[in-house]
Structure 1
Amino acid sequence: MTTGGLKMIAGMLEQLPPSERKIAAYILQHPHEALNQTVHQLGVATNTSSAAVIRLCKSLGLRGFGELKMRIAGDLMKSPEQGYRDIDPDESMYSIVQKLTNNSLQSLRDTADIINYEELERAVQVLLKAKNIHFFGVGASGIIAADAQQKLLRINKAATAFSDLHLVATLLANADEQDVLFAISFSGETPEVVKIVTLAKEQRILTISLTNYGVSTVSSLSDIRLHTSYQNEAPFRSAAASSRLAQLHMIDILFFCLATAQY
């Protein structure tokens, strides 16, 4: 069952241009009605146009309105979700365990819902052919990069994972056309990662990014775009633990796709 349409819209809502945002807000408020409307009817219902509906689907990275409706239909058939919950002062250990477990499971499900399988396939094929794969991330994303490196080394893929901007810049300066840069940034706006992706583009090195779902600088600059689910950050950022698990999950998916392709 294909799902994730409503999550895609929620994640992109504030980044959409006005006409597309009106349509997106309408779909979030009236998903059942939108599911039974044509492109023209949805344009009329939102005082926009058929062209704006098609542009929204393109902004979401979908093939068209049919795919969006299919994903929304899948969402509406699923059981209600608890959503992400933050910790409270003096909360019991039992409650913390339950909340964080729910947040983690929800993050994995949400990420699976929004996977673009065409982009995933492109990423797998590029990594299979790559001579060297240079993973780069800073802070928590640097830990994900290191995890990715050790996984690929286990299946005999040459990989690096440095969090030092200058070291990675040196690697890219000496890279050849068979090398790949894999940039990791949850926000997609980490300055160091933006700089490295920009440098890779100047060096004509193919780039893959793993970012939070939505429009971001790192994602926009990349040749192949992979995403984890959009999440509203709570005050204590308990969702940060979940986002890390979602990033690790995507790396695991890539690893097993590579492993099975060269079993």
Structure 2
Amino acid sequence: MTTETPAEEQRVPGAVAERARAALGSLPRSEARVVQALLAHGSDVIRMSVSEIAAAAGTGVGTVVRACQSLGFKGFQDAKIALTQDLAPLVGERSPEHIDLGDRPDQVLAKLAASSGEALSRAPVSVDPKALGQAVELLRAAPRVLLLGVGTSSPLTQDMAYRLLTIGVSAEAPADVHVQHVRARLLRPGDVAIAVSHTGATRETVDAARGAKEAGAGIIAVTSYSTTPLTEVANVALVAGGLETRYRVEAMASRLAHLLVLDALLISLVLTDPGRSEAAQALAANVLAEHRF
């Protein structure tokens, strides 16, 4: 993160906070506590001193300054001004993701739609454009693509594997974790494994990704945090996530952001080889027509 944020980031409320959150895993524990304290106080941080943040994080003043510099700011003052300006459009009312026990179902729907929309709008800011381009190049040249993911990430991998098939890319997403690991080991140089994990620390996914890399395959990580066991294994990391509400299970907003990233990969692949994609899509359409009334 830099204080010279691009124009599109400045227009997206919460984007600076989202990038700070995504960087938590790459920071020393004491600095991570500082960032968590900054995020926890939101736009109110503008009224706080460096000593108050240090006390809230259980660290020293020097650690607060270092944490802000690790995020790309000149220091604490620079960081709190940027965060306040970033979060100011989100205050006035309560955060759209704040759900009260007495909310009606239609209110819940509206609030979830708002928070999900914000997660999607922040994704283009948190995903490194260079990394996205590298991921597309890896996939464009890949003879085979293996999707890795367990738990709530598994449906995303199943969907992506199917859609890759419909544009002419040989892809699979085994549901069983043992099969995932075996298939990962059977990949060859030039093949690609896409590993999807919100935390980036799911043992089965990381182990399978590591096996794929040892087999010579390229690894693309789709995750919510910039430095995790999974991103350490990956050749390319695409980081996007969402600020979650406590009632949502397993980072639903982050899953939506990950779906968006996967869709960007898919459409970019279509653009790199439209002839192949059109032929495969026509064939898939004919097959599916046989299953419709």
- TM superposition score normalised by structure 1: 0.76
> What's the counterpart of residue 12 of structure 1?
23
Which structure 2 residues correspond to residues 78-89 of structure 1 after superposition, within 5 A?
Answer: 80-81=89-90, 82-86=95-99, 88-89=101-102
1:140 aligns with 2:152: yes
Contact 1:132 1:179 in 2 (8 A): yes
> What's the counterpart of residue 108 of structure 1?
120
Q: Which moved more, 1:108-117 or 1:120-129?
A: 108-117
CA distance in 2, matches of 1:104, 1:238: 13
SS in 2 for 1:175: coil
CA distance in 1, matches of 2:66, 2:117: 37
**Per-residue deviation at 1:229?**
1.9
Which of the numbers 162, 165, 175 marks the counterpart of 2:187? 175
**Per-residue deviation at 1:182?**
0.6
**Per-residue deviation at 1:12?**
3.1
SS in 1 for 2:89: coil
Contact 1:8 1:213 in 2 (8 A): no
Which structure 2 residues correspond to residues 38-117 of structure 1 after superposition, within 5 A?
Answer: 47=62, 56-57=70-71, 76=85, 80-81=89-90, 82-86=95-99, 88-89=101-102, 91-117=103-129
**Per-residue deviation at 1:15?**
5.6
The alpha-carbon distance between structure 1 residues 87 and 205, as it changes in their structure 2 partners (threshold 3 A), is farther
SS in 1 for 2:134: helix
Contact 1:208 1:226 in 2 (8 A): yes
Contact 2:224 2:239 in 1 (8 A): yes
Unaligned runs of 5+ in 1: 32-45, 58-63
1:206 aligns with 2:218: yes
The alpha-carbon distance between structure 1 residues 88 and 152, as it changes in their structure 2 partners (threshold 3 A), is same
CA distance in 2, matches of 1:250, 1:162: 20
The one-character-per-residue Cα deviations of 1:10-68 (angstroms, maximum 9, x if unpaired) are 3434762267558856797359xxxxxxxxxxxxxx646998766x25xxxxxx669xx
CA distance in 2, matches of 1:116, 1:187: 18
The alpha-carbon distance between structure 1 residues 124 and 232, as it changes in their structure 2 partners (threshold 3 A), is same
The one-character-per-residue Cα deviations of 1:97-144 (angstroms, maximum 9, x if unpaired) are 211211211111122221110100000010001010000111221100
**Per-residue deviation at 1:160?**
0.6
Which of the numbers 249, 266, 271 marks the counterpart of 1:260? 271
CA distance in 2, matches of 1:239, 1:146: 18
CA distance in 2, matches of 1:197, 1:47: 38
**Per-residue deviation at 1:186?**
1.0
**Per-residue deviation at 1:74?**
11
The alpha-carbon distance between structure 1 residues 86 and 14, as it changes in their structure 2 partners (threshold 3 A), is farther
- TM superposition score normalised by structure 2: 0.69
Computing the radius of gyration from Cα coordinates, the structure with the larger value is 2
CA distance in 1, matches of 2:227, 2:185: 28
**Per-residue deviation at 1:168?**
2.0
CA distance in 1, matches of 2:110, 2:231: 33
CA distance in 1, matches of 2:83, 2:66: 24
CA distance in 1, matches of 2:136, 2:84: 27
CA distance in 1, matches of 2:222, 2:46: 31
**Per-residue deviation at 1:245?**
1.6
The number of residues matched between the two structures is 240
The alpha-carbon distance between structure 1 residues 198 and 139, as it changes in their structure 2 partners (threshold 3 A), is same
The alpha-carbon distance between structure 1 residues 73 and 244, as it changes in their structure 2 partners (threshold 3 A), is same
